[in-house]
Amino acid sequence: MCGRATLTNGDIDQILRELDAEISPDDAALFRPRYNMAPSDLLWIVEPGADRRVIVPAVWGYLASGRPLINVRGEQAGSGRGFREAFASRRCLVVTDGFFEWDAQRAPTWFHRSDGGLVLLAGLYQSPAGGPAARPRFTILTTRPNRLVARVHNRMPVVISSDRIDDWLRAAPSNVISLIEPAPESALVATAVSRRVNSVKNDDPGCLAPAEPTNPPASDRQGSLF
């Protein structure tokens, strides 16, 4: 699954240029760097606009039968009950520069690009409901892991490369099924980071500090003669 993400670049203008997208002034005023984005938070998604792509804030948690879903299996989204229509007409990209996964010992790993660039995650969104202040809601699609992520977790988010953005946002559903696959191993690097990220209360650069070294089990330590 994908349950936390980052967007550490605080330069919204740079992000807009990279995505060839636009944003409303009111929404731009909300933008800030994030180091531990969690479900129910406002994140940023890319939607197809009339003339250009549009970036809007959206709530992480797609409501299905009243329950917020943070992830949906990508392999089932096109045909599964409840998501067929969204997959056909409401695909989006979730703007991040990395995501976290945890191993069995709850040790976090940050998966990100070596150059610090954007990591665009495939998503489905719901249009706002509940008044003018309501926000869209979204979920992130997942797939089987590549070998890099498989060392930590048995699923990973679907990553869309920059040259396939318009395909994901606008193409017919039958033409995007092939995009639901693991990212190439060369696309990401894995960094063991601080357990500060385990708490959603922490959202600062310290979440990305290198993991503290762990002591080996006593049976693995070299004995002393003295």
User: Are 158 and 123 a contacting pair, CB within 8 Å?
Assistant: no
Which residue type, as a one-letter code, is found at position 61? Answer: G
Question: Within 10 A of 59 (CB to CB), how many other CB atoms are there?
Answer: 21
Question: Within 10 A of 150 (CB to CB), how many other CB atoms are there?
Answer: 15
> In the numeric block, which tokens belong to residue 24?
């409303």
Backbone angles phi, psi at 193, to 5 degrees: -125, 175
Question: Within 10 A of 52 (CB to CB), how many other CB atoms are there?
Answer: 11
* E strand intervals along 26-149: 34-37, 42-47, 53-60, 62-64, 67-69, 71-73, 91-96, 98-102, 108-112, 119-126, 137-143
| pLDDT at res. 77 | 86
Record: fold of 5-220: hypothetical protein yedk fold (3.90.1680)
Q: What distance in Å separates the CA atoms of residue 11 and residue 31, rounded to the nearest whole number?
A: 9
Residues 3-24, buried b or exposed e (16+ Cβ, 10 A)? Answer: bbbbbebeebeebbeebebebe
Q: What is the pLDDT of residues 78-93, one digit of tens each?
A: 776 678 899 999 999 9
| pLDDT at res. 157 | 98
| pLDDT at res. 222 | 45
Q: What distance in Å separates the CA atoms of residue 184 and residue 173, rounded to the nearest whole number?
A: 22
Q: What is the pLDDT of residues 7-35, one digit of tens each?
A: 999 999 999 999 999 999 999 999 999 99
Q: Profile the chain (226 residues) by mean pLDDT over runs of 10 residues.
A: 93 97 96 98 95 96 93 85 89 98 95 97 90 88 97 97 96 94 96 97 97 63 39
Which residue type, as a one-letter code, is found at position 38? Answer: A
Domain ranges of the chain: 5-220
